[in-house]
Structure 1
């Protein structure tokens, strides 16, 4: 399956996969909600960013470059600015994911600690002075409720770690790989004539 996916991409002589981006002009690489802002202050086009992330996810650990094809090759200065913008944008995305993952880990730790406290409270309440046979219904409900709350809290902590931590780590890695990718430029073959 992986080989079939990689056959969809061009390759360089050194074996690196080429992720192709086509645009008629540089402006199409950026969001256009702020038409007056210079390129170095604009965000990348949302669809372009999603496309790059999807491609890198699809090719896996294979080395790659990003090749941007435009109607006319931009000046060296503009090429460097675009490279820098890609780098900054995906480093920013990586930092957002890292901050989100740290919040997730803190939240999971709090759920785990709360669950452990509730579990010890439940055990203490169940071993309290009144024997089980003479315990009133509301006391039993209280003990069972605290026990259930403890296990729900512990489960929430573990499910956050098991189901959310790994995808966040993958997104951080994807953003890092895109930020460090080589970016090349070429003009559209039909325009080159």
Structure 2
């Protein structure tokens, strides 16, 4: 059973439990004259009850200074998200076909896909905690240290891969932009020259065709610099969050 979590999946023999915030944890910030509390509403992991409560006999509202401190803490502290995985043995989490040493192995594809999908559902600056329930604890090894290093190494590798992809995309975008600017300039000059030849229909068609062709050449660099780069940048930030994720191994049942 996974208590306090709203997601349960079976992927490749691995059971996963995930939620938006850890339902069992109650976050409390104490102040001199008040207390701000936030807790999960049962059955609704994304909803919070938040408010000020005063000690008995106190009539003072929270002061401006305390409110500023709490506001600052709220802005600077990243949200915490928790994922639970249940496996029989830690080798299940890794690709059995990968011949590289254990600490550099790829994750099992189903486990990798589930962890990434879970992480991409939150802001990139989130703090991520992963708890692995291991049914068969090895007698001679420390599974916590091994799994932590292996998972961190894997997402560090994926961060480097996506960084290279982003670098190549921006390089291609700069080349496409240069080619597009040269081409659109040539087309506009040619269109202006055609317009001086006359206003007959064939000249008008040629002028408009050159103008459209020139601007169509700018489509690819505009797509790269407006739309294509930022999903890769977000992927890098999420992988970095997973590379820093707190991994804990506990004995499963």
- What range describes the TM-score normalised by the shorter chain of this pair? 0.7 to 0.9
TM-score, normalised by the number of residues in structure 1: 0.79
Which residue of structure 2 lines up, in the alignment, with residue 111 of structure 1?
A: 176
Equivalent of 2:120 in 35, 57, 60:
57
Structure 2 counterpart of 1:182: 246
In structure 1, the gaps of 5 or more residues are none
- Give 1:164-175 correspondences, 5 Å limit: 164-175=228-239
Contact 2:103 2:153 in 1 (8 A): no
| Contact kept in structure 2, 1:28 and 1:45, CA below 8 Å | yes
Secondary structure at 1:58's aligned position in 2? coil
* Larger relative contact order (CA 8 Å, sep ≥ 6): 1
TM-score normalised over the length of structure 2:
0.62
Q: Give the stretch that moved more between structures: 80-89 or 147-156.
A: 147-156
Residue by residue, what CA displacement relative to the aligned partner does 1:24-49 show, whole Å, maximum 9, x if unpaired? 10110101124x65422421111111
1:43 aligns with 2:110: no
SS at structure 2 position matched to 1:86: helix
* Long gaps (5+) in structure 2: 1-5, 7-18, 28-78
Quick one: distance in 1 between partners of 2:128 and 2:194? 68
Matched, 1:148 2:162: no
More strand per residue? 2
What is the alpha-carbon distance in structure 2 between the residues aligned to residue 96 and residue 153 of structure 1?
A: 29
Matched residues in 2 for 1:38 and 1:77: separation?
16
Answer whether contact 2:84 2:132 (CA < 8 A) is retained. Answer: yes
2:155 is the alignment partner of 1:90: yes
CA separation of 1:173/1:11 partners in 2, compared to 1, >3 Å: closer, same or farther? Answer: farther
Q: What RMSD in Å do the two structures reach over aligned CA positions? A: 3.0
Partner Cα separation in structure 1 for residue 25 and residue 128 of structure 2 = 9
Is the contact made by 2:89 and 2:137 (CA closer than 8 Å) also made in structure 1?
Answer: no
Q: CA deviation at 1:185?
A: 0.5
Distance 1:77 1:170, change over 3 A: same
1:12 Cα deviation (Å)? 4.6
| Gap change, CA 1:120 and 1:86, over 3 Å in 2 | same
SS in 2 for 1:73: coil
**Larger % of helix: which?**
1
